Amino acid sequence: MSDTAFIYLDNAATTRVLPEVVAEMEPYFLTGWGNPSSLYKIGQDAKAAISDARERIAGHLGTEAKNIYFTGCGTESDNWALKETMFAYRDKGKHIITTTTEHHAIMNTCKWLEQRGCEVTYLPVDGDGLVDPAAFEAAIRPDTVMASIIYANNEIGTVQPIDQLCQIAHQHGIIFHTDAVQAMTNLPIDVSKTEVDMLSASGHKFHAPKGVGFLYIRKGVKTKNFIDGGDQERKRRAGTENVPYIMGMAKALDIQMANFDTRVPQEIKLRDHLIERVLGEMEHVRLNGSRDQRLPNNTNFSFQFVEGESLLMMMEQKGIMASSGSACASGSLDPSHVLLAIGLPHEIAHGSLRLTLSEDTTLEDIDYTVESLKEVVGTLRKMSPLYEDFVAGKADIAGFVDKK
Ligand code: PLP
């Protein structure tokens, strides 16, 4: 078990802040707390520090520092990318293309745009959660300004064919934004190769604190200022910079990119072990999301005859922290829009569990989790009248496919 008192398998919701990250941040609270806009030394030192952080972050992405804009979170980056680009190009048109499986940060921003006269195409996905590039191309219209397609899904882990979609977008002269909040540090991302025009990221998904993110904007993309005020962030996102958090985010990214080649294969190995054991040893269970085009640390299962909230609570009693969908949606009883979008019926979508790993996860954690799952799912099924009917041969399992 990892060194916490519990097994944390909810790394898509947030990650543990690394001690090295806290150590990097501390001086900017205690001694180097100047305002980067001030002309005296502690101000100029803070300015130099964030400029170095910007360089390092840009380097990890394969771009130049001037294309990186610090924000308060992934949600803010998404809002900026969509709202201000649609506004900047309003003379070209009012159409934007996205998918039915975006995070609420994109979904609700699209609704906001619709309320203000924009037209949004929500591309459907297949049973694995993948967008069809031909359908994407067919959806592009003369008045399409941009597309925003999630790099890797936060619930089911499906990784979209971003390079191909981006090429199609550019062939038709439209701007391509991707929400890479889950992909950052989990997949190799180089914007000099994957020619996305804008990319959103969030520090707390890769061991920096909550409340800091960034937006990459390719040179030449005309997006409006998101926050008006002072000269910070090249006048595009005003407000005194959050120096300690920016420093923490850069440090976290340095660490996660330095250990990428050992961390990611290890996570894939444990993820696959988890998937193989659950699908191999349990009945009436399916893996949601693509088997191959999948985030290294994501698993998402549906267990028939089981209710997700009860499953979560009983897993917590076993000391395992997990999620029944995206953290933002888990407070509500509506089934996840992502699981519905891949074609799951409501009752199956309700019985879903997301387990997301990190470099802290061990083989023992995974084996203990599988044993706990078997016990908990067994207990819950014994309490289920539907399962009783099914065992008695009075009901079938229509709508549910055991996906091995
Ligand atoms: N986009 C995706 C894909 C996410 O998973 C999340 C967070 O769960 C966000 C955006 C929002 O990021 P933040 O929590 O930094 O606002």
Give the residue, out of 80, 101, 103, 151, with the most ligand 1 atoms within 8 A of its beta carbon, to mutate for a pocket test.
103
For 107-138, write each residue's pLDDT tens digit: 999 999 999 999 999 999 999 999 999 999 99
* Beta carbon of 169 within 6 Å of any ligand 1 atom: no
pLDDT computed for residue 350 by the predictor: 87
Two tokens at 165? Answer: 């979609």
Nearest ligand 1 atom to the CA of 154 is 5
Neighbours of 102 (CB within 10 A): 24
C-alpha 192/C-alpha 189 separation (Å) is 9
Report d(CA 314, CA 366) in Å as an integer.
16
Which residues touch 31 (CB under 8 Å, ≥6 apart)? Answer: 42
Phi-psi region at 331: left, alpha or beta (left = phi > 0; alpha = psi -120 to 50) = alpha
Q: With bands split at pLDDT 50, 70 and 90, how would you rate the model's confidence at 381?
A: very high
179-224 residue pLDDT tens: 999 999 999 999 999 889 999 999 999 999 999 999 999 999 999 9
pLDDT above 70: residue 331: no
By most ligand atoms within 8 Å of CB, the mutation choice from 182, 189, 295 for ligand 1 is: 182
User: Does the Cβ of 105 fall within 6 Å of ligand 1?
Assistant: yes
Question: Tokens 């971003």 identify what position?
Answer: 162
Token pair for residue 329? 């949606």
Nearest-CA residue for ligand 1 atom 8 is: 13
Q: May I ask the CATH architecture of the domain 7-14+260-391?
A: Alpha-Beta Complex (3.90)
Q: What pTM value is reported for the model? A: 0.96
| Contact residues for 4 (Cβ-Cβ < 8 A; gap 6+) | 16, 360
pLDDT-derived band of residue 1, with 50, 70 and 90 as boundaries?
Answer: very low
pLDDT(395) > 80: no
Between 4-8, 62-66, 175-179, 319-323, the lowest mean confidence (pLDDT) is in: 4-8
Q: Is the CB of 180 under 6 A from ligand 1?
A: no
Task: Assess whether the C-beta atom of 325 lies below 6 angstroms from ligand 1.
Answer: no
Distance 185 CA to ligand 1 centre (A): 14
Q: Identify which of 126, 147, 106 has the alpha carbon closest to the alpha carbon of residue 341.
A: 126
Q: What is the mean pLDDT of the chain?
A: 94
Element containing residue 337 per DSSP (H, E): helix 337-341
Going from the Cα of 239 to the center of ligand 1, the distance in angstroms, rounded, reads 21
Distance CA 276, CA 20 (A): 34
Instruction: Of 58, 61, 29, 63, give the one whose Cα is nearest residue 46.
Output: 29
The CATH class that applies to domain 19-258 reads: alpha beta
Task: Give 363-403 as a DSSP string.
Answer: HHHHHHHHHHHHHHHHHHHHT-HHHHHHHTTS---TT---B
Which residues, at least 6 apart from 327, have a Cβ–Cβ distance to it below 8 Å?
Answer: 10, 12, 13, 14
Q: Is residue 54 within 8 Å of residue 68, measured between CB atoms?
A: yes
Tell me the CA–centroid distance for residue 398 and ligand 1, in Å.
34
Query: Is-contact 126 153, C-beta < 8 A?
Result: no
202 lines ligand 1 (CB under 6 A): yes
For the chain, residues classed under CATH 3.90.1150.10 are: 7-14+260-391
Structure tokens at 162: 């971003």
Q: What is the pLDDT of residues 84-107, one digit of tens each?
A: 999 999 999 999 999 999 999 999
Query: Catalytic residue at 328?
Result: yes
Amino acid at the residue 310: S
Any ligand 1 atom below 6 A from CB of 182: yes
Cα distances (angstroms) measured from residue 178 to each of 184, 189, 229, 232, 272: 11, 11, 27, 24, 26
Contacts of 144 (CB under 8 A, 6+ apart): 93, 95, 96, 97, 172, 174
Tell me, what's the pLDDT at 404?
44
Span(s) in the chain for CATH 3.40.640.10:
19-258
* 154 pocket-lining for ligand 1 (C-beta < 6 Å): yes
The pLDDT, as a whole number, for residue 398 is: 54
Q: Is the pLDDT of residue 402 over 70?
A: no
Strand order across the beta sheet in which 352-356 lies: 285-287, 298-303, 352-356
Collect all residues with Cβ–Cβ distance below 8 Å to 254 and sequence separation of at least 6.
56, 60
Residue range 331-340: mean pLDDT, rounded: 82
Q: Which of 323, 378, 383 has the alpha carbon at shortest distance from 354?
A: 323
Residue with tokens 């005194």: 240
pLDDT digits (tens, 9 = 90+) for 48-89: 999 999 999 999 999 999 999 999 999 999 999 999 999 999
Distance 104 CA to ligand 1 centre (A): 8
